[in-house]
Structure 1
């Protein structure tokens, strides 16, 4: 059981909840802060004070005063009118993350909701009642208004959910679990939708997948090095310490570890003096992507524990301040940066694929074909990888450089962070398929060289990979192999292959 405080949620804990079924609960101390914040809202309503979103309309309607007899109507109308999401729904795991993150933000005690709102959100997480939330429609400022409104609909018994493998009306799933819908009181609708949880949830799931891909890319690249009799000297510790980037040093160390007892690698001058950049510069390129992922991780863990709605309530209601914490610019930048970093893993992977299949660049059978000419072998796999890499270059265009005014120019600069996070996730799926193609080609190459000569670590990875994709003995529909390999890369517990090399053994 993971206890949420609004202050200390980590990506590792998110992984436990999202992928391993860990349950969550709210800390008692945080709930006390929530109660005090709620009492402040009740006083504001009873005193008819003019406070944005509590006794006024929203956005450009912030100057319209609302009678306290219409407080519930105001919140209900807000949720219904703002539920304008369109397109395919977010993956279920992303929507689950969204609910969890919204509950954690409200637990900070600055939002003025009743404890029951947080309790209901945590019930949705623990019972796997997942809101159906359309992916498109958020500008990434004023919060992820449209996506989070679809989330909020479920609490009031409206909208749709994924439940026990089916998509259904929310009220049906709630009734099956004996959960009563809530009637939103003052501030609660606004507190539920005014935040960055859609882009952050998408970013969290994207980051967790990207992190796994980054580790896998090193293992697959190590196998490619063996398939091409790559020169191991380029990964020597002193080379990378001389430059000084920790992530570069770590990548080189892991690859040295994977290849430590390989009989397929060579020394400089043995077959050639130096390798092409796609082999020789793996630590420099992959290490730079790791630098970006570390940056993204830092920003996500801050945002996961941030108060991002408006207004925020301080000093037991003595200060109620309208600010702009809902603006998604920090996450928009992080997501755009992650797009570039992950796309680059595919860029260099595709170049290694080319070196594996091109007979002018190696001494292997042309296109790794069992019968060059009669059979095309991996020829068109490289085409597919090139197409995915090219598509990523389009998706990697930064979303955060754009802004379109909204709400009659009251909200005149927005982040487009949710678009950035969605495109990052699309890139990650493409990268995984490119790496799957490199894996298939690398396995074929080392098989030709002699599996018995492989390093212990890469051989173990090869053997598991061969359980998914058979050797290329005859041309077949390789699309199925690529998808199967990609699915395996997504689902495996990569720590089983990398654990012994991820601890920091060296001091720099």
Structure 2
């Protein structure tokens, strides 16, 4: 069951400055399957330059602009002497160089660069074309700033992590090039790039925005979208393994509670299982909730995906720094677009729905390995027979690990957005915590994918054992033969557990398959 999707070829380009970007385009850049290219449209380049020129003229006329002629944050009442204005943006990224924690992965960093470039290309940030081209150069040469992941409260945007981008553009700090850590100045020189000297407001424009949390949200969205499909396929295989009642997914049944996403999940299950066949008398009339209510659990996330996309792509394609430069009406507008509340809410909501899927699958596993509830399958789904059955324990430890991963995922569902802290001399007295929410969501997704990997081993084993017990119900005769195709795809990676073995290599291979979306499901 190979993936029939055609990934973007390396020659594909995502053009910045012409049309709004999609989540998929950000992910393509992050994965390295598409390149970034700044628009060369004269109208676009002229618009960008107009904002920078307006700021220059305002400064010549002794205008007061926050973060240009004043200090930052609570220091906005401090006037910067004209001879020091040029140094101010470099001080901004310097004193914000206090991030900690693990650095963002290459994929995450590419997404961050793409997201910031998208916002600055809107033409409301007062930056030069040269700055945009410098970010484009980082992406095209795959020079990835080493950005610590911790230190942002999500308003005034992602100041501390984005300071590492600003510094690299100016030839300071470090980048990753081909997996090696290199001084930014050396990396820029090798790529034929010249370190920037930031113009007034450019440091603030780079740093005062929601690029980090939004980039992480784009990556989270794609993983969550695939999770809905693979969790549904696991449910179908679990139902078959348990000799369950496919009538729980009847189309008429779901027509009377018409949540579209829930109906979609039920429809997928209808394509996998024989929902229209008469119910055998010996079958259990009502399966337990983790099977019967699977569309209701997975459907919550499926139904949330459209508005999650809307919020994430709205933020992605917004100008979200401060102040906003209006080149058309020649105004400087001081506001709070750096506040990441929409991304915080999206990520807090997503991680809740995702963790519930982990819990659902963990409950399915509990049924499958327990001989009291699995309708005749061996305890722990052990494939050992004869005297050797006494020393084999099948998937016993795998269930323990699945329970651990599920518990950790559930623990992280506390919403980050409610933990606002007043900071920076009470100037930033209400903050979004959007970046923490996004990081939490990615961790919940990681843990849930580990549960998914465990369940793929489990249902592959369960289907194999059920097929031996009930050969009169062949998988290939189910609608479309989809379960048989999935079993075949899994069998290519995972041998049946006939004798106890170390399962970590199988889990790691399956995680790779999940994260590369190796199986085309319900397309």
**Could you tell me the TM-score, scaled by structure 1's length?**
0.94
Contact 2:16 2:37 in 1 (8 A): yes
Report how many residues are paired: 496
Deviations 1:329-355 (A, max 9, x none): 111111100110110110000000011
Which whole-Å CA distance do the structure 2 matches of 1:421 and 1:141 have between them?
A: 14
Bigger mean CA deviation after superposition, 151-160 or 459-468: 459-468
Match of 1:446 in 2: 463
Q: CA deviation at 1:483?
A: 2.3
Match of 1:401 in 2: 418
Residue pairs, 1:242-253, within 5 angstroms: 242-253=256-267
Deviations 1:244-282 (A, max 9, x none): 1000111111111123599xx983644111111111111
Residue pairs, 1:297-312, within 5 angstroms: 297-312=309-324
Q: Secondary structure at the match of 2:37?
A: strand
The reply to whether residue 37 of structure 1 matches residue 51 of structure 2 is yes
5+ residue gaps in structure 2?
1-12
Which whole-Å CA distance do the structure 2 matches of 1:143 and 1:321 have between them?
A: 17
Residues 471 and 70 of structure 1: CA distance in aligned 2, closer, same or farther (over 3 Å): same
Match of 1:282 in 2: 294
Q: CA deviation at 1:498?
A: 2.4
Q: CA deviation at 1:67?
A: 2.3
Match of 2:222 in 1: 208
Residues 274 and 23 of structure 1: CA distance in aligned 2, closer, same or farther (over 3 Å): same
Q: Secondary structure at the match of 2:418?
A: coil
Residue pairs, 1:323-342, within 5 angstroms: 323-342=335-354
Of 444, 455, 467, which residue of structure 1 is paired with 2:492? 467
Residue pairs, 1:309-458, within 5 angstroms: 309-316=321-328, 318-362=330-374, 363-371=376-384, 372-450=389-467, 453-454=474-475, 455=478, 456-458=481-483
Q: CA deviation at 1:482?
A: 2.0
Of 80, 100, 103, which residue of structure 2 is paired with 1:89? 103
Contact 1:40 1:316 in 2 (8 A): no
Which whole-Å CA distance do the structure 1 matches of 2:131 and 2:425 have between them?
A: 31
Residue pairs, 1:216-295, within 5 angstroms: 216-259=230-273, 267=279, 269-295=281-307
Match of 2:8 in 1: none
Which whole-Å CA distance do the structure 2 matches of 1:6 and 1:305 have between them?
A: 11
Residue pairs, 1:9-28, within 5 angstroms: 9-27=21-39, 28=41
Residues 276 and 261 of structure 1: CA distance in aligned 2, closer, same or farther (over 3 Å): closer
Q: CA deviation at 1:416?
A: 0.8
Of 43, 60, 67, which residue of structure 1 is paired with 2:74? 60
Contact 1:444 1:472 in 2 (8 A): yes
Match of 2:308 in 1: 296
Match of 2:65 in 1: 51
Bigger mean CA deviation after superposition, 444-453 or 200-209: 444-453
Match of 1:128 in 2: 142
Deviations 1:164-196 (A, max 9, x none): 121222222212211111100100000000001
Contact 2:249 2:275 in 1 (8 A): no
Which whole-Å CA distance do the structure 1 matches of 2:305 and 2:445 have between them?
A: 13
Q: Secondary structure at the match of 1:427?
A: helix
Match of 2:10 in 1: none
Of 121, 127, 139, which residue of structure 1 is paired with 2:153? 139
Deviations 1:449-489 (A, max 9, x none): 22871142122222221222211011111233222222221
**Could you tell me the TM-score, scaled by structure 2's length?**
0.92
5+ residue gaps in structure 1?
500-508
* CA RMSD, 1 decimal: 1.8
Q: CA deviation at 1:7?
A: 5.3
Contact 2:15 2:38 in 1 (8 A): yes
Which whole-Å CA distance do the structure 1 matches of 2:433 and 2:281 have between them?
A: 51
Q: Secondary structure at the match of 2:175?
A: strand
The reply to whether residue 183 of structure 1 matches residue 208 of structure 2 is no
